[in-house]
Every structure is written in structure tokens, then in C-alpha cells.
Amino acid sequence: MNRLLLFILYIVGLVCVMQGWLFFGAVAAVVFSFFAPSVWLLPAAFLIDGYFGMWYSVPFFSIVTFFWFVVIEFLRPYVSVWQNETV
């Protein structure tokens, strides 16, 4: 995917979560994770937790994003191998 499209998807996902559209933000994060390194979602999660003031309680978005990062980085080799075998 083009870097400009990835950047736009990143910003759209960030804005969707900030506006309270969590479903659309989650879809953008899932699509973004398969085309770019999912470690880029961690700074966005820290910003979102700060935006909602979650650092005074449980930083929900940071914790969920960290676990998503671990899962997607574990599954990425299997998905890419599966895609290469079908081509």
C-alpha cells in the first residue's frame, strides 16, 4: 500500500477514535496493521489515552493496542506465508 494511503488511514483511525466512533477506528487499525508495522499504533494509543484522560485510571487503549501489537506480530508470518502459497 502506498505510504500516503497508510498515513491517511492512520489519521482517519485516530480521528474516528477521538470522535467516539470506536468501531470505525478499530477497522482502520486492523487494516493498517496488515499493511504497515503495527508498532506505529502504540504512539497513537498513548495520545488517545491522554486525550481522554485515561492516565489517571487504567490506560485502556494503550493496553489493548499493546496486546494487538503482540498478536498481529505473532500472526503476520503465518498470514504472509499463506498469501505467498496461493499466488
The number of beta carbons lying within 10 Å of the beta carbon of residue 78 is: 9
Instruction: Write out the three cell numbers for 9.
Output: 488511514
Residues spanned by the domain of 38: 3-86
CA angle 9, 38, 52 (to 5 degrees): 70
Report the domain count for the chain: 1
Radius of gyration of the chain (CA): 14
Give the predicted TM-score (pTM) of the model: 0.77
Residue 24 — pLDDT band, cuts 50, 70, 90?
A: very high
Residue 2 — pLDDT band, cuts 50, 70, 90?
A: confident
pLDDT, one tens digit per residue, over 43-61 is 989 988 888 888 788 888 8
CA distance 49 to 78: 31
